[in-house]
Structure 1
Amino acid sequence: MSLVILGVDPGSRITGFGVVRVANGKIEHINHGVIVMDGDDAFPRRMTELGSAFREVMEKYKPEQVVIEKIFLGKNADSAFKLGHARGVIMYEAGLGGAEVQEYATRSVKKGVTGNGGASKEDVQAILKVMLSLKTISRIDASDALAMACYHAFEMKKKALMQRAVSL
């Protein structure tokens, strides 16, 4: 049995995505990339572009699970609100596509992938290239999304192991 997981690094201008398949306990890279909205467009138009492009990704890869970064409050409240809107568009489209949506904090994902919750984006990318046997991951947004997908696969495996251990 295999499971397709779509990781998402949401943004109001650039949204990264990473698709993996989990089968027989192994994580296989399917694809990754970015959705780039026209920065000159008004914000509502960019969200429409995001929804349309993300719908195409959903239709192409048909993931059972979509994993998205939890929102964090930085210094710029306006950016956080825009990120929230982008997350909402992604969650809506994922739901329409029949996928279950999971959320994880960035620090948890970094810790799960690299062993260090404060790891740099470049460190995460380097680990993913080795883990997924990739020569390159062209955009940081895409590697962040792949990290989300891989971390979710790890968490699912850990949960399954715990359930087996409890039933012994």
Structure 2
Amino acid sequence: MRGQGQVRIIGIDPGLRRTGWGVIESDGVRLAYVASGCITSTADEDLAYRLRELFEGLTSVIAAWGAAEAAVEETFVNDNARATLKLGQARGMALLAPAMRGLRIAEYSPNLIKKSVVGAGHAEKQQVQAMIGFLLPKARFESADEADALAIAICHASHRGAAALARRVSEGAAE
């Protein structure tokens, strides 16, 4: 059972083939692993149906684990425009699923995620996974997609207080 001040966060690492997800709890100081996994889409299915699989999978995960906030990795643009576009569409499902459940959603760049977890924006995947093991000793992940999703959730846990303060300041300035 969650204590007062604890928030359950889902980190989402979007991908058309595999979308990683990781759920943690944070009380502002301590982090606790809750669950993680990977949603896969059927490779030989049409794009629209693959996107539906991702959306429905994420919607189920969010409902099952009771996440209150979501964090999604921003898309990096690569040389293959077609691949970038497909990733963007998968990312759209990763944003829509928590939005449809009313969760507060934050987005983070890959470099900020690595810097938040490891202390270096260009850290290797092995370094990120080692730090996840240190920060969430009970975490058990079977894929890099799950590990990345947990890193995204950890990043959000460390930045959510600053984001909330910025929102309050901007809302006060708007009055």
TM > 0.5 fold call: yes
Number of residue pairs matched?
162
Contact 2:11 2:21 in 1 (8 A): yes
Is there any run of 5+ residues in structure 2 with no aligned partner, and where? 167-175
Contact 2:23 2:34 in 1 (8 A): yes
For residue 70 of structure 1, what is the aligned residue in structure 2? 74
* Deviation sequence 1:125-167 (CA, Å, 0-9, x none): 11101110036421100000000000111112456899xxxxx
For residue 146 of structure 1, what is the aligned residue in structure 2? 150
Q: Does 1:47 align with 2:51?
A: yes
The worse-fitting range, judged by mean Cα deviation, of 149-158 and 40-49 is: 149-158
For residue 127 of structure 1, what is the aligned residue in structure 2? 131
For residue 5 of structure 1, what is the aligned residue in structure 2? 9
Q: Which amino acid in 2 is paired with 1:71?
A: T
Q: For residues 20-35 of structure 1, what are the structure 2 equivalents within 5 Å? A: 20-23=24-27, 25-35=29-39
Moved over 4 A (4+): 157-162
Deviation of the 1:25 alpha carbon: 2.0
* Deviation sequence 1:69-103 (CA, Å, 0-9, x none): 01111111111111111111121111111101100
* Deviation sequence 1:28-59 (CA, Å, 0-9, x none): 11001100111111211100111111110111
How far apart, in 1, do the equivalents of 2:70 and 2:53 lie?
19
Q: Does 1:37 align with 2:37?
A: no
Q: Which amino acid in 1 is paired with 2:122?
A: G
What percent of counterpart residues are identical?
31
Is there any run of 5+ residues in structure 1 with no aligned partner, and where? 163-168
Aligned-residue RMSD, C-alpha: 1.8
How far apart, in 1, do the equivalents of 2:161 and 2:69 lie?
14
Deviation of the 1:121 alpha carbon: 1.4
